[in-house]
Amino acid sequence: MQRVSKQVVDSTGTLTILDDISFSLGEHETAAIVGASGSGKSTLLSILAGLDRPSAGQVRYAGTDIFGLDEDARAALRGQHMGFVFQSFQLLGNLNALENVMLPLELMGRRDARAAARAMLERVGLGARLGHYPKVLSGGEQQRVALARAFVVRPAVLLADEPTGSLDFATGEQVIELVFELNREAGTTLVLVTHDRAIAARCARQLHLEAGRLLP
């Protein structure tokens, strides 16, 4: 990421959300983005994913400026190389656990989608819940399904936005432990937005945002 800024214009004028952000991450690195509410953490993560376009600057993945690609090419890059975990789980309510995890594999044309999804759900402790729909799963179980969906494609990069924010402390501890276990097994580059200092301390790097600027 090189000199990335993000501004939005409203009735009061121009609001700067991110201001001249530059950093790089290596393969298999773990990094936590930390800062107060409103500091720009989630916006930064969205730009890293190519979901939100910066007002200025470049985001490069494997040497390619992702905002030099059209929307379809960016979506293809995300599907092939990135996994996502959100605070609100983002599961599809009309699909059961197995179908939710199969979906990204099916979009890739994988013939082994069902077997791979089943194995990943068993890995996260949900082998007995394959046919259950999100509405009958607990918050911790839903987040485990979300983790299985993110890791089943073996992403090079995992982007996680407050993955324990909707969970109670004990469940959150179990889920974050699983995040780091799966990350070690897969050798993924992990970028994690969190307000929890203990979680941030488990990452090799901490990127501190304050009022849209990256602190030295």
Counting as low any pLDDT under 50, the low residues of the chain are none
pLDDT for position 156 = 94
Task: List pLDDT tens digits, range 158-212.
Answer: 999 999 888 999 999 999 999 999 999 989 999 999 988 999 999 999 999 999 9
Give whole-number Cα distances, 215 to 35, 43, 181, 207, 211, in Å: 10, 16, 29, 7, 10
pLDDT for position 207 = 96
pLDDT for position 87 = 86
pLDDT for position 114 = 97
- Other beta carbons within 10 angstroms of residue 8's beta carbon come to 10
Question: pTM here?
Answer: 0.87
Q: What span, in angstroms and rounded, lies between the C-alpha atoms of 73 and 77?
A: 6
